[in-house]
Chain A
Amino acid sequence: MRLRPSEPLAMWVTGAFAMLFLASLALIASLTWSVLRGAWPGAIEIAQIDGQSTCIERLGRSGEGEWIRKSGHPDAWVVPAAALASSRPALGHEAILLHDGRWFCTPRLELVEPDRILPISSRSLALWSESFGQDMTRLRQAAQFGDTLSIPEFQRLHGLGMRIRVRLLQQGTRVELPIEDIRLIRPKDSGLREKFGYFLLILRLQISSSPGSFASITGTVLATVLATVLASPLAVAAAIWLSEFSRPGKLSWLFRQSVQLLAGVPPIVFGAFGLAILVRQVAPAIDPHLAVPSLLWASLTLTFLALPTVTRQAHLALLQVPSHLREASLCSGATRLQTLRHVVLPAARKGLWAAILMGAVQALAETAPLLLTGAVQLSGKPLLGGAAPWLHLGGGFEHLGTRIYHGIEQFPPGPLGIGAGSLSCLVLAVLSISLRTWAASLRHPGGTP
């Protein structure tokens, strides 16, 4: 049997494109891997607190002896005395504590003298400056103005008799432990299996630490569900009007063009719209208390974002209902509404659900608009539960997308940030892929993409 000459060519060309596609996937995977590997910390401190392993994030990656911040809870700051004592000025760190990428002295830092705990406040600093003179004045300046102290300066304070011990805040309770209990591990130098073990440990710590990933999963799901619930009726109604009731003409043309236009607007522009119009113009008109970026406005922004997607997909689903079905119904003496209710909607049911799911995917996967309209790094209060109405829309919320952003963007990269980012990536990807697959299976029961 002789093959027609075009067939091998077609096979090679399509095959080459498929290979190119696979190669680009592999490239993306390897880039991701190298980014994650480059961000992997030099060392992690693991402490046993109440029988549970907790990660104490190190500042910097250049070796042991630097300052340590405990970041299982972002509000707790840790300065180990041993680290202070053994720190090498040669490391060149000019700062004491890291906060928002900057090193500075915060009032939360507690200097522990042998017998008493003295939180750094203007008053205690004033007391101390009497006994410690110039050095304390320097510390006070640092505390008040967010200034930095060099390691030699801090060493001098230590030398003057201040003892500093590790303090941790864990879910509201204060835990104090000697620096010896903190174990230093070096994932970078260990084997692949240990590395994976540490990775799992960090993931577990992320899930168990509160507020942690759970809050951001709740926030993400709530924002997505709210946006979908708000967008779907409008979008499906618009699609029904387009496909069933509008006459071909200027109005329906204009409507279809504006849907296309909306679908082409970059998400961050929706974010700007949400902040400038919804939060700053609409909200004060309703209630001044509402005029802050919050879950409510973020969900509304996502609603606008999901509208064109759902409308287009629902319109397509309705167009797929063969017109002779509608005709058969009209021929039976049914009105347009009866036809819609008994024939068109049942026939398009799966496609409409797929359209709604695609809207949910869109709302789920967007991060940019949320940065402007209500997603925060740490909301501090749950969205569900508590007092009536049990759903708290008026405040900031945590979101998986912004958690990825904050986790990976954090500098210097720490294991918890990377862990938070990776875990959020995983959860977000799983959610998004499952919704998408569900939508696809509704639209194409045979399994084609």
Chain B
Amino acid sequence: MTESVKPTACHPYPADAPLLELERFCLVLDGREVLSDISFAVPKGSITALIGPSGSGKTALLRSFNRMNEWTDSVKISGTLRFEGKEIHSPETDLLAHRSRIGMVFRTPNAFSMSILDNVAYALRVQGKRHPEEGAEKILRRVGLWNAVKDRLGERGDRLPSGLQQRLCVARALAASPSLLLLDEPCSVLDPVGTAELEDLLLSLAGDPTVVVVTHNPQQAARISQYTAFLAQGRLIEVGPTEKVFQRPLCRETDDYISGRFG
């Protein structure tokens, strides 16, 4: 007898104008099914957290949003993934333009080996904008870095301490005014102070842009996100407003994971 697959437990949440919309989305990386049958939506202007144990496919899901999986692996997909109402895997999609509408921050602070100013101006520069440095001050103020670096904008960005450097990476990702910001475990190498500062920064963005953050720390998800999606073994187990997922989980796995009994 084949085991019947449990459908995603879905708390009701408003999804009338979602920024991202997935329907029966499956992803096969290098011949291995990493994500299967994912359906959910990311509301515009929200912070959504993707949580789950290691190997659950959170990062692969995050990287599907800006099609970064294709860069390293051979990719097969099925189902739909719509960004601002448009299917991103359709042949008409301009990949460069698509990626430039989505900012991304990585696990390790990875400022480029160029000046702080050039790091911030990078996205606008490669997109061919004139005077890419112009908005840098505003962006740096927004991520709370201006006072720390205003006197040394010419110094190398990759020599900043990791807390400041990760904020510089957020600034770099925000520079081209994306409508979506993806963060892949952005606090994994930061100390508690750096983590708190980065969480404050994400909250201060106030939904512009929409944020999707992968975290292995359920408490962090509880602190910063409005919506939480819980994944395990490539499946979306439960999704909904964060307080509901945390306070009244519908699935036992979710309850076990957020209360620290597994994962």
Contact = CB atoms under 8 A, between A and B. Distances in A.
A and B interact physically: yes
Interface of A: 322-335, 338, 342-343, 346-347
B160 interface: no
17 contacts: A324-B106, A326-B71, A328-B104, A328-B169, A330-B71, A330-B99, A331-B173, A332-B103, A332-B122, A332-B123, A332-B176, A333-B96, A333-B126, A333-B127, A334-B123, A342-B122, A342-B125
Contacts, number: 70
Interface string B67-105: 010011000000000000000000000001101101110
Given A330-B71, A333-B96, A322 B108 contact: yes
B257 interface: no
Contacts of A343: 112
B127 A324 contact: no
B222 to A, nearest CB: 27
A344 B123 CA distance: 15
Interface in B167-182: 169, 172-173, 175-176
Contact of B126 (A324, A329, A346): A329
A326 B110 CA distance: 10
Nearest to B100: A333
Contacts of A342: 112, 114, 122, 125-126
Contact of A324 (B99, B103, B107, B125): B107
A248 to B, nearest CB: 9
Contacts of A326: 71
Task: Tell me which of A324, A328, A335 has the highest count of chain B C-beta atoms within 10 A of its own C-beta.
Answer: A328
A335 B100 CA distance: 11
B66 interface: yes
B54 interface: no
A327 B66 CA distance: 11
B219 interface: no
A332 B72 CA distance: 17
A332 B169 CA distance: 11
B108 A329 contact: no
Given A343-B112, A346-B112, A347-B113, A327 B123 contact: no
Contacts of B123: 332-334
Contacts of B106: 324, 327-328
Contact of A332 (B71, B108, B126): B126
A330 to B, nearest CB: 6
Nearest to A337: B126
A346 B114 contact: yes
A338 B100 CA distance: 14
Contacts of A322: 108, 110
Contacts of A330: 68, 71, 99
7 closest residue pairs by CB, A with B: A333-B100, A332-B123, A334-B126, A331-B104, A324-B106, A338-B126, A333-B99
Contacts of A332: 99-100, 103, 122-123, 126-127, 172-173, 175-176
Given A323-B72, A333-B126, A328 B172 contact: yes
Contacts of B110: 322, 324-325, 328
A329 B100 CA distance: 10
A216 B176 CA distance: 59
Contacts of B66: 331
A331 B66 CA distance: 7
Task: Tell me which of A326, A335, A343 has the highest count of chain B C-beta atoms within 10 A of its own C-beta.
Answer: A343
Given A328-B172, A332-B103, A332-B172, 6 more contacts: A324-B108, A327-B71, A328-B104, A329-B112, A333-B96, A335-B96
Contacts of B112: 325, 328-329, 342-343, 346-347
A347 B157 CA distance: 12
Nearest to B99: A333
Nearest to A323: B72
Contacts of B102: 331
A335 B95 CA distance: 10
Contacts of A346: 112-114
A342 B118 CA distance: 10
B174 to A, nearest CB: 11
Contacts of B100: 332-333
Nearest to A347: B113
Contacts of A338: 126
A263 to B, nearest CB: 28
A325 B172 CA distance: 12
Contacts of A324: 106-108, 110
Contacts of B68: 327, 330-331
Task: Tell me which of B68, B71, B110, B169 has the highest count of chain A C-beta atoms within 10 A of its own C-beta.
Answer: B110
Contacts of A325: 110, 112
A324 B112 CA distance: 11
Interface in B40-72: 66, 68, 71-72
B143 to A, nearest CB: 16
A113 B71 CA distance: 89
Contacts of A347: 112-113
A342 B121 CA distance: 12
Contacts of A323: 72
